[in-house]
Structure 1
Amino acid sequence: MSPQGSGGQPAWFRPSLPVKFVLTACAATAAETVTFPLDITKTRLQIQGEAVDRFRKTAKPYRGMIQTAIGIVREEGLFKLWQGVTPAIYRHIVYSGVRMVAYEQLRDSLLKKNKDGYFPLWKAVVGGMVSGAIGQFFASPTDLVKVQMQMEGRRRLEGKPPRIHGVYHAFVKILSEGGIQGLWAGWIPNVQRAALVSLGDLTTYDTVKHFLLRNTTLKDGSLCHGLSSICAGLVAATMGTPADVIKTRIMNQTRDKQGRGLLYSSTYDCLKQTIKREGLLSLYKGFLPTWARMAPWSLTFWLTFEQIRKLTGLNSF
């Protein structure tokens, strides 16, 4: 038998930052794998209509969420719904691990809770945005690879030559074309989106959960965690979709030998061109699959995360 430490966990186990990072990575991997088909559907929807004048009669009509998913399966195969899942998991190991650890550190050490033991809303907002931005900055290269891999099937159907042949080749190609800096192409809208999504996800989950615990008869269990995660997914999708559309288009564009984008020169340029050609509502392309994905993603992640913490002897988040 292993000697026991405080809280019932083995003596070798300590609620250190690396341990919290690993637990978060496990929960994020499960959530990402389950919901990834919705992510590739969202990405394809966001790219449709790119560089096409919305007033031009020759413009092709967009397919909806279900039709896009069915089209991927019919035209490319069932398993193409998971194309790009490997860098997506890498991304979430870095992104979710860093942002969760950062948020908890900010909440418990720097910003601190009130005397009654609860975290004020304004502090939760600051903590959510800062931790999300930090996490996404470090994870941005893996996000870039994921977006490009997700679009490979569409390029082949259009008769275009493949740009990449796997995760390793994608990293090598990006480095050869744009250097280290090229790995952070699109990082500004990416970080902006992550700050908003993390604000919606972390802040909403933390706030709703403790509101329910203070003001209802719900216990700190799966029902409370589930209700909080559903609210978190909706708010995160609403706040993050516009920045996600811009981020996806900048990351997917072809680049010259100097690593400069051939379609958009900057985040603002992409935003301006998108609205001009496709209208303001185009910023919410892919909202339904984003929401449809974030709801089960949040549910899977938070339930798994809370259960893993409980099983390993950590306090509830």
Structure 2
Amino acid sequence: MPWFFFSSSSSRYLLVNVVQAPHRGMVQTAAGVIREEGFFKLWHGLTPAIYRNIVYSGTRIVIYQKVREYVLKPDPSGNYSIWKSAVNGMFSGVVAQFLANPADLVKIQMQMEGKRRLMGKPPRIASPLKAFQSIYGKAGMAGLWKGAVPNMQRAALVNLGDLAAYDSSKRFLLSKTGLQDNYITHILASICAGFVAAITGTPADVVKARVMNQPVDDKGRGLLYKNTADCFVQSIRNEGFFALYKGFVPMWFRLAPWALTFWVTSEQIRLLLGAATF
């Protein structure tokens, strides 16, 4: 999973002010991880990331298609309005992310483990299984959904860009350009989806990462931010509006190859199986 390199670098970059490390850009962050912790630490947290994407990607696609087919249906001419795509994409992303939140929480914490050790802090995680057990032991089942609200907010915005943008841009290309429903159309639509998803999702990604990785008290309450809104306000007040787009480039670099790989592969598999494309 080459895209995971950008995911790890992006998470470290977004959390700069949480762990109070010196400011570094995305490239400097990745180089610092390699220099200080080793090359393969860029893939630390890959296992829970795989768990998360199995649940997340499968769920969001199925829900989007079922809602499009049975609830927010296309008009009689076959057109599917942008607002329906947007609502459907956001809803699908929220449900999928809620189910995938435990694995996402472990992934984020594992990505930060090497930096914690370098800063002299005690290790929290030895393996994904130990991480799940530790979180459950300290906070119960509810602890596995720490940060679920900003996570779902982020997923709603990302899928507003990814699912809705892919569906809408693909329909536009097929109806307005004369292109066929083939890999060229799928590539162009996926490029659009990745870029729009980065624009809509980066602010929520910043807030999500900071809320999920902040230190907590004995009762599991955050010590830096009261809630998502408080993190949002503090980030702008202390660092300016564009703090919400800190990590946009790695976010785009992460979502662009992911969208390209996911959508083109998914569509080609559907064609090989004789199923209808997305």
Q: TM-score, normalised by structure 1?
A: 0.85
- The CA deviation string for residues 28-87 of structure 1, in whole angstroms up to 9 with x for no partner, is xxxxx23001001000111112376xxxxxx84x21111111221122111111111111
* Structure 1 runs of 4+ with >4 Å offset: none
For the residues of structure 2 that align with 1:41 and 1:214, how far apart are their CA atoms? 39
Where in structure 1 are there 5+ consecutive unaligned residues?
1-32, 53-58
Where in structure 2 are there 5+ consecutive unaligned residues?
none
The match for 2:70 among 96, 101, 109 is 109
Matched AA of 2:9: T
1:44 matched to 2:5: no
For the residues of structure 1 that align with 2:3 and 2:37, how far apart are their CA atoms? 19
| Larger-Rg structure | 1
For the residues of structure 2 that align with 1:110 and 1:270, how far apart are their CA atoms? 35
For the residues of structure 2 that align with 1:177 and 1:264, how far apart are their CA atoms? 20
Percent of pairs identical after alignment?
Answer: 55
- The CA deviation string for residues 211-260 of structure 1, in whole angstroms up to 9 with x for no partner, is 00001121111111011011111111111111111110111112222211
What is the CA-CA distance between 1:92 and the residue it aligns to?
1.0
1:245 matched to 2:245: no
1:35 matched to 2:24: no
Question: What's the secondary structure of 1:50's corresponding residue?
Answer: helix
Matched AA of 1:39: S
2:256 aligned residue: 295
The match for 1:174 among 132, 135, 149 is 135
1:143 aligned residue: 104
2:157 aligned residue: 196
1:66 matched to 2:27: yes
Contact 1:178-1:257 within 8 A present in 2 as well = no
1:225 matched to 2:177: no
Q: Which moved more, 1:168-177 or 1:36-45?
A: 168-177
1:208 matched to 2:176: no
For the residues of structure 2 that align with 1:205 and 1:170, how far apart are their CA atoms? 35
- Superposed CA RMSD in Å reads 1.3
Q: How many aligned residue pairs are there?
A: 278
The match for 1:134 among 95, 105, 122 is 95
Q: TM-score, normalised by structure 2?
A: 0.96
Distance change >3 Å, CA 165–CA 51, structure 1 → 2:
closer
Contact 1:234-1:294 within 8 A present in 2 as well = yes
Distance change >3 Å, CA 274–CA 193, structure 1 → 2:
same
1:81 matched to 2:49: no
Q: Which moved more, 1:64-73 or 1:268-277?
A: 268-277
